[in-house]
Amino acid sequence: ASGSAGEIRWSKLGTSLPVANVQALVASAGELTADQIERYVQPDIDAHTVLPEHSGEVPVIDLSNLLSPESVEAEVAKLRFACAEWGFFQVVNHGIPDDVITGIKHDIQKFFQLPLEVKNAYAQRPGDLQGYGQAFVVSDDQKLDWSDLLALFAQPTQGRDMSYWPSQPHTFRNSVEDYSMELMKLAQTLNVFIAKTLDVAPELLADKHVAQFLRMSYYPPCTSMPEKVLGFSPHSDGSFLTILLEINSVQGLQIRRSGAWIPVKPRHDALLVNVGDLLEILSNGKYKSIEHRVTINAHKERLSISAFHVPNYGGIISPILGTIEEKMLYKAVGVEEYARLYFANKLEGKKALDYAKLSGI
């Protein structure tokens, strides 16, 4: 389903139960009581080791090298390694103008500083994933994440619901528009080179990023027990590609690698890109979507904006096989069907992807 009807249905794929605003909770409570914080305490937070000494190893891809005939082959090899071995990479020389990055950073910070009643004018409504609130809250007894967010459907433009787009700060809508358009161009370029790493025609990936969801996240500090709460529970992304911009330089993102958690150091000159579940299916598992989570700082807030690029609502994703002998490890899945499944559950690692795996793997 192309056109606005299909796009508008995107945000109706799920809903999230209303829960307390974490930023307001932190601001009003001083020292939080054990009862207040109990719903946020994650019992399995220490189940796997954290290895900060590996945080400098996340691959860095230089877009200018991909676009230069002299260096493209070597950089494509790096990109292939990044997708196959890490599922995450930093992109430098990404071509997005400094003023666009500065604008979106400034306006997201300003939005989250607004009084709660102003932000609540854009609150999520039942049956819609967009708006201000939380995500993936599907039961009254599940553990909650230590964060608030603003989610917007940004592309294609005819699918936008402007009632969710803040008019304060007054430059907010323009900043989001400019940043969103720049990311669409970047996603298109990255898909051309990801196709090259898979030895497939770029046209096969050309429509895999045409819809874009933006999620702006605010992670307040937690002074009482930061080591017991998470800003985002471990999950992989239900997207094709995700592009993340760190708004401030507070570390918090950790990615799962070889059974351990690797903290990712924010780079002021980079965007962070990760493989989503749909790219894992399309690559027949050559590239894996990677679990990641967000930890909380005791004293500092963290802000970020994630852009989830997905195919058309009515599309189908199926594995592209490299050779006649290659065994198909995933079934073809409808994009809508997968998204419904993904949003219907609380975040739990890569559980949603099991649905697409063929038995025996």
Confidence class for position 348, pLDDT limits 50, 70, 90: low
Under 8 Å CB-to-CB from 285, ≥6 apart: which residues?
319, 329, 330, 361
> Which residue did the predictor score with more confidence, 94 or 361?
94
Mean predicted lDDT score pLDDT of the chain = 89
For residue 329, give both structure tokens.
């490890």
Contact (CB, 8 A) for 40 and 250: no
Q: What is the DSSP letter of 319?
A: P
For residue 184, give both structure tokens.
């669409």
Cα 173 to Cα 180: distance, rounded to the nearest angstrom: 10
Confidence class for position 309, pLDDT limits 50, 70, 90: very high
Under 8 Å CB-to-CB from 356, ≥6 apart: which residues?
277, 281, 330, 331, 333, 338
Domain boundaries, the chain: 37-356
Under 8 Å CB-to-CB from 209, ≥6 apart: which residues?
184, 187, 188, 191, 240, 241, 309, 310, 311
Percent of the chain with pLDDT over 70: 90
Confidence class for position 1, pLDDT limits 50, 70, 90: very low
Confidence class for position 349, pLDDT limits 50, 70, 90: low
Residue-wise pLDDT tens digits, 136-171: 556 666 788 889 999 999 999 988 999 999 999 999
In which element (H, E) is residue 245 found? Answer: strand 241-246
The secondary structure of 104-145 as a DSSP string is HHHHHHHHHHS-HHHHGGGB--TT-S-EEE-S---SSSS---
Domain 37-356 has CATH 2.60.120.330: yes
Against a cut of 0.85, is the pTM above it?
A: yes
For residue 4, give both structure tokens.
């606005």
